[in-house]
């Protein structure tokens, strides 16, 4: 059984725009399994840790301010190849370069308001899940439907 996990987050603009259900739906209907979910208004320190690889970029202060502007929905999704497939479902970083049918390509325009986050590698997924869910952990449960999703 596939146990790869990725960290997916609906950003403050996605929450404000009422896109939480839409984003969850795309992962759910694809067949991926939700194993953790919570709403959190993250602190500046927490967000600086999440985006530490981007510290020094010109857009970094604006990115942190935007991410701290309201609550986010933090999730862990599980399934085969879910890290890479999650990025495909999200679309390109810049929504203007995102294909229709992707979340950003369907619902966003500006790179600084791209409504969702997804881990970019298995290693960063592990670090991000530890950062956002370290104290809570994820839930392990079986689904009868997996026999109809995986051969
Ligand atoms: P992604 O979110 O696709 O993994 P990233 O990790 O390179 O992209 O950047 C994190 C976020 O920072 C991205 O979702 C939006 C913002 N960002 C990235 N590049 C930017 C830029 N050139 N101008 C403004 N914001 C940018
Ligand atoms: Mg990234």
pLDDT of residue 2: 58
Residue 74: which of 121, 13, 20, 112 has the closest Cα?
Answer: 20
In the chain, pLDDT over 70 holds for what percent of residues? 99
Q: What is the tens place of the pLDDT at every residue in 84-113?
A: 999 999 999 999 999 999 999 999 999 999
Average pLDDT over residues 18-40: 98
Which tens digit of pLDDT belongs to each residue from 40-62? 999 999 999 999 999 999 999 99
Give the nearest ligand 1 atom to 118 CA.
Answer: 4
Q: Which ipTM was obtained for this model?
A: 0.98
Q: Catalytic: 117?
A: yes
Q: Do 33 and 77 touch, CB atoms closer than 8 A? A: yes
Catalytic residue among 41, 46, 50, 117: 117
SS3 8: strand
Q: How far is CA 60 from CA 23, 31, 49, 128, in A?
A: 25, 34, 12, 18
Between CA 99 and CA 42 the distance in angstroms is 30
């Amino acid at each position: 059984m596939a146990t790869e996990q990725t960290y997916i987050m609906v950003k403050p603009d996605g929450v404000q725009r009422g896109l939480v259900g839409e984003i969850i739906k795309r992962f759910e209907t694809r067949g991926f399994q939700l194993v953790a979910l919570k709403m959190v208004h993250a602190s500046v320190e927490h967000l600086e840790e999440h985006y530490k690889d981007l510290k020094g970029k010109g857009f970094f202060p604006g990115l942190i301010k935007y991410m701290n502007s309201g609550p986010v929905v933090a999730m862990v999704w599980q399934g085969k190849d879910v890290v890479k497939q999650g990025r495909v479902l999200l679309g390109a970083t810049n929504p203007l370069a995102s294909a229709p049918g992707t979340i950003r390509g369907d619902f966003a325009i500006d790179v600084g308001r791209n409504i969702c986050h997804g881990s970019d590698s298995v290693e960063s997924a592990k670090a991000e899940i530890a950062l956002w869910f370290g104290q809570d952990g994820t839930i392990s449960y079986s689904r009868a439907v997996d026999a109809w999703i995986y051969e």
